[in-house]
Structure 1
């Protein structure tokens, strides 16, 4: 009988007035679709269907009071079975969008997924905004619709940084290429909030909801949370106010299937100590609500500029955590070390020297001419090769000595002959 009931969208189960009938009704509901089934709970006011008909009780009223077999906040594995299989069969798609500029980040987070909350922190002056702009730009270049909420710096300055990272070169020195790069940058699905400075949480959330509906935004960057705490009169306790704001962003990410990246300043700690998850300003709610926690570590050295690392201290999706180095390029303002090319960098340096000291390039340009005399050095073996010719006349010297020697050889002969005649 049950297979014939599966064709109906709404199935009320009213079996009897005893406990056994109630248990049987719940069993049938589990075998059928629990979302389609409703149960009539037995009782004195709700007897079995036959007895209710004999008493003249309104059957429609009894069916209207039936309880749903499933609760909207409770599901069973049967309802999740297909979704679990889909995640197992499509591992790469479930992992999300991969970063192209940060392959090491893919090893830990596996990708950028919708509906998650990422908390990002780092020391003051370490380049949090510069890093997170390239972090978001990388995803935006792959078609991830992004909404930027920059409360700390103006949109013009932020767009300038992102355009430099997009072009991987200083456009101040290549103004003739500005229109070309600007046209390409304009095609990206990138939007900016017009807020600057302290803003109310309600205004920000309403703007985010509108952007999700109108522009299909799937990634929102908030830089940073502290600019909304001073405006909210939720509580005199700043920690309680921050917890409320973090909870609101967590709910927004889950309800709208949108990834929210939240920048939070750390506590004031010793500069020589590395930041930890507990270093995030506020209570532990921020790190507890977050799916991912990223920390920009800045290890400063006394002898020169330090090294910067990105630490993944929490990863709810995969569990892998770790740290990897970042290669910052001041020319392209990128932490991925991506530049236009070494030849391009050398050209930029020459142009800078020409602007500062126009007379210096002349001797520098003459330096490459020095190899010419060096190339003439191999010509020196030529006179060395002529040395054997000089030995040739020396070889004739015996001929010159020979007549002199013959003269000397004749003189002893008469002396010898005279002495030989005396005896």
Structure 2
């Protein structure tokens, strides 16, 4: 192949280094186009040299031969996959595991065919549609799968442009949006398409032949909110390496066990189970964290145990015979070392035997290490203590009691050589016993009989013995109890001899390493206690995690020589006569307060956001307006409404005032009239856009006003730096349906046509936001403006937990509200139906029938319930613990006659915008729903209807959120996050 220009012959190309590639020269532009990326480096260098020598402009020619130019040329010459021959496309689907992928999924990911129709092209992107737009979006890399020409053994040739060593982005990255909560990352294009089709989540594919992950790749991943990595089972280590490379705390990994050693494409191919299996695998992902590092989220339960004293302090059991110890040691805990000491012949081992028997009787497996005490003598003592603990039982035979005690999980290890038993020997016994039985309590009858103790030369050696015992208890998750010679510290000069100094050293080492130290003292040694009437008493020198020490006070030990049992009594002095009368009043007050709190306490669900704080707020709200409102309802609904308005408006004003007095005010407020409808305008100091927000407040059509929502609209204006207008529409029952809709429509139309000029606002960039009942008004007004073809049109609509239907009040979210928080001050089904009836001007006596959905005529039931089919909801919304599918309604003449006045509103889309027949040509929408909200399901239904009509609708669901959480976002961080999500959505769609 040569190039002749101006009579000069250029050096021929050496085409021997071109493998299965085609080279073309354009006469005018003089640059090389490669249809395949398999050109060797030597050939490329020759071509560059030739072209530079010919044109004299090396930079321009090198730019024309860049990988970016090659990618765009191949992409521009590609064709849609529906123009391929059907046999080739079918064969490619089979070989690439794409048989179950729909054409619509291919279209979303821009999968195209090669120019000659023998392969599929999978583009990779480094930018998103929401940033650059569809027209400006171009792939940065391509992956091509071609069919081989061998008919006997058909196969696939895989090609990458640029080559696999160059960063080319992600397959599917252009679909990522800022509001996407979860993004699944896979190592294969077929798996990414399968996950997106089955679970509806954004799925990306990265080239599995990359070397160390590049910084540009990691920077794109760190922008995602929640990354889930699903590697093929054979490349699980590759997925772990990618997960560790990410610094995000929201990176999760799917293990081969979770996905049952299946790829996503294989799971989708399972008949009837593919979608459910893929969704379950994604939910079973595990967070990737360093084993040596922990976060506050991971340590919450463990911290709660220490903070409240649960479990770790109370231990696995408490003492039954020696209940007095429970007040000081708090419980029997694993992983601790307890030493029971005392002088010679003070009863240490007898007390130790009953101490261990008390624990073993509560099903704690116990191992006795008899280093000094004969095993027969020990078991005889245990039988006596067990037999004579209860009165009138000593007449039974020895065989009976021996058989009774033999049923306890107690084992004995005998060591013959006293003073020559090593701690290692005890560990070996524990290991042999652990093979068949678990040991939780190890009792050493004499710690000083260990060989390590005999060979100890100084205090350091003694410290090693106690530290080894404590380490053994922690590593084996057991409790070690031992007895030894311990006595009071001797500080007098006459006792300052070698034995006394050695005993003080032993005491110090025991106090340092042991978790609990109990010392049996005799009356002879109790020089600082002169009123002791008993021969022995117990002192608690140390308790690491328990309660108070017992040093100045004492615990009396009554020993019965016949039964060999101890009785512990806390030594105390009698109260002065008549003191008990002073306790009556506090006891009565405590009893009254306990009864009141018990009646007021209604537990919120476990997953409720800020549950402890909301428990208090909800109780206060119930006392302030709910209970008085119920009482006033007996007289008149009007009185109940007046009281509720007064309390809620006052609380909202106080919250707003407190916020404005502590936070800097960067928002200016104006009050204007929009076609005789009052409105409040919030103007931030730093307005950086010509867009605006129109906000319609909630309140069940009868409550709250612009002042009540001042906190939300002010915060939204600051987050978006956009002018925000809050509409003061008329409330029911003074102004019934459709007065509120008319007010909102007139105000919005006037603002779009005239008032926007006052603030230099672009009328094509107006966003409508509605909250709760305001969400209903926003949806209805949007549909009205579409029907009337009013220009200019709204840019976006944001509906925050909206009420959009008056048909079905037996949805799963309503049934959950009945069961979990029906008696609370949160918006409940009864209050929602009551205020809806007031809004429509109907009698509130129909509330019970509407709650049972008896207001729906059985003849119209099928027609009305088409938009609220429960089977369309996500599976997690259909929890059988609270949801029961309602039976079909039978024809009930009495109910139909009683609810005749309701029938006229059932088919009215201005009451139930969900029933609008035509949802097309509506503005782009964002719908927010909360888990603990009766309106959760109808918000999802509305998103589903919008998407069916072709409207771009986004949905954000808060798994721990609740209705009206935005109104108290200063106390609930999730409410602030929801406002932030709304602001982010608006800014991104108006940028």
Instruction: Indicate conservation of the 8 Å contact 1:308/1:325, yes or no.
Output: yes
Equivalent position of 2:535 in the other structure: 307
Partner of 2:325: 105
In structure 2, what is the equivalent of residue 223 of structure 1?
445
Give the deviation of 1:158 after TM superposition: 0.6
Partner of 1:317: 545
Distance in 2 (CA, whole Å) between partners of 1:220 and 1:214 is 16
1:181 pairs, out of 401, 421, 426, with 401
In the alignment, structure 1 residue 327 sits paired with structure 2 residue 558:
yes
Partner Cα distance (2:535, 2:474) in 1: 36
Q: How well do the aligned residues superpose, as a CA RMSD in angstroms?
A: 4.4
Displacement, 1:281? 5.2
Aligned twin of 1:32: 250
Partners of 2:559 and 2:565 within 8 A in 1: yes
Counterpart-to-counterpart distance in 1, 2:389 and 2:461: 41
- The alpha-carbon distance between structure 1 residues 95 and 174, as it changes in their structure 2 partners (threshold 3 A), is closer
- The alignment status of 1:16 with 2:215, answered yes or no, reads yes
Deviations 1:152-209 (A, max 9, x none): 2100001111111111179xx9796111111101101111111141212211121123
Distance in 2 separating the partners of 1:285 and 1:146: 26
* 1:78 corresponding residue in structure 2: 297
Alignment deviations for residues 21-64 of structure 1 (CA, whole Å, 9 cap, x no partner): 9x99999636236999xxxxxxxxxxxxxxxxxxxxxxxxxxxx
The answer (yes or no) to whether the contact 2:534–2:558 under 8 Å persists in 1 is no
Q: Per-residue CA shift, 1:296-330, capped at 9, x if unaligned?
A: 1211399x995212212211113422231111111
Matched residue, 1:165 = 385
Measured after TM superposition, the shift of residue 85 of structure 1 is 3.6
Residues 169 and 91 of structure 1: is their aligned pair in 2 closer, same or farther, counting only changes over 3 Å? Answer: closer
Q: Structure 1's 150 and 331: CA in aligned 2 closer, same or farther, altered over 3 A? A: same
Give secondary structure in 2 for the equivalent of 1:148. Answer: strand
Answer yes or no: is the 8 Å Cα contact 1:122–1:296 preserved in 2: yes
CA distance in 2, matches of 1:120, 1:249: 14
Hey, which of these two has a bigger chunk of helix by percent? 1
* SS of residue matched to 1:264: strand
Distance 2:251 2:351 in 1: 49
What TM-score, normalized by structure 2, do the two folds share?
Answer: 0.27
Aligned twin of 2:486: 266
TM-score (norm 1): 0.58
Deviation at 1:149, TM superposition (A): 1.0
> Is residue 211 from structure 1 mapped to residue 433 from structure 2 by the alignment?
yes
Which digits, 9 at most, give the CA deviation of each residue in 1:243-291, with x for residues without a partner? 2222222111111110111222226976999xxxx96653744322222
Q: Using the alignment, how far apart are the partners of 2:340 and 2:376 within structure 1? A: 23
Gaps of 5+ in 2: 1-179, 188-210, 224-242, 255-287, 496-501, 570-991
Secondary structure of residue in 1 paired with 2:183: helix
Report the equivalent of 1:357: none
1:50: which partner in 2?
Answer: none
Tell me by how many angstroms 1:69 deviates. 6.2
Deviation at 1:123, TM superposition (A): 0.9
Partner of 2:423: 201
Is the contact between residue 322 and residue 568 of structure 2 (CA under 8 Å) also seen in structure 1?
no
CA distance in 1 between partners of 2:415 and 2:185 (Å): 53
Structure 1 residues 309 and 245, CA gap change in structure 2 (3 angstroms): same
- Decide which of 120, 145, 152 is 2:372's aligned counterpart: 152
Give me the whole-angstrom Cα distance separating, in 2, the residues matched to 1:79 and 1:289. 29
**Distance of 1:6 and 1:122 partners within structure 2:** 66
Distance across 1 between alignment mates of 2:565 and 2:504: 24
- 2:783 maps to none
For the residue of structure 2 that corresponds to 1:257, the secondary structure is coil
Deviations 1:47-92 (A, max 9, x none): xxxxxxxxxxxxxxxxxxxxx96353x4333321133345667836
Give the whole-Å Cα distance in 2 for the aligned partners of 1:33 and 1:239.
51
